[in-house]
Amino acid sequence: MKKYYPKNGGANEDLVPLHGSIHLELPSISPASDPALVKDYFTRIITDLTSDETNQRRDARSRLSNYLSVLNNPSDIDILTDGLSEESYRTQLGIAVALNGLKNSIPLTDKIRSNLKDAASRLGDDTFQMNIQPLLE
């Protein structure tokens, strides 16, 4: 599956396929950013978590961790973890790695912890478990 991004980050420009050798810088975000930009940024990150390109998935995990840290909104984590156990392995791992990268800088609610425990009980993958266990302690 190919992913498409607006050329040069513009909203109304032609779409170009994003391959592993192409790197488009996304605009930085902040709590004061336009909500449409924040939503687009978030959507692109989630899309990139499932990329066929390993480097793109790893970059998306880092960007997701940064996104969550900058916006510091626990409801974003709630949205990410709601139904996590039903998501693809790549999405589950990406979210686990991103949350682990926060180093507990955002407190996790009981609901979030419950969602993470549910995902951990259904997925026996060692890499996923290694990233999720510190969040459950």
pLDDT along the chain (137 residues), means of 10: 46 48 60 83 91 93 91 85 91 93 81 91 88 87
Residue 41: predicted pLDDT: 87
Residue 28: predicted pLDDT: 72
Residue 13: predicted pLDDT: 46
Residue 2: predicted pLDDT: 41
Contacts 24+ apart (CB under 8 A), 111-118: 111/78, 111/81, 112/74, 112/77, 112/78, 112/81, 115/81, 115/82, 115/83, 115/84, 115/85, 116/81, 116/84, 118/84, 118/85
Contact 42, 66 (CB under 8 A): no
Residue 106: predicted pLDDT: 79
DSSP label of 16:
E
Distance CA 44, CA 115 (A): 23
Residue 24, amino acid:
L
Query: In terms of C-beta density within 10 A (0-12 exposed, 13-18 middle, 19 or more buried), how is residue 104 classed?
Result: exposed
- Residue 35's CB: how many other CB atoms inside 10 A? 7
Residue 17: predicted pLDDT: 46
Give residue limits of the domains in the chain. 35-136
Model pTM? 0.76
Residue 19: predicted pLDDT: 52
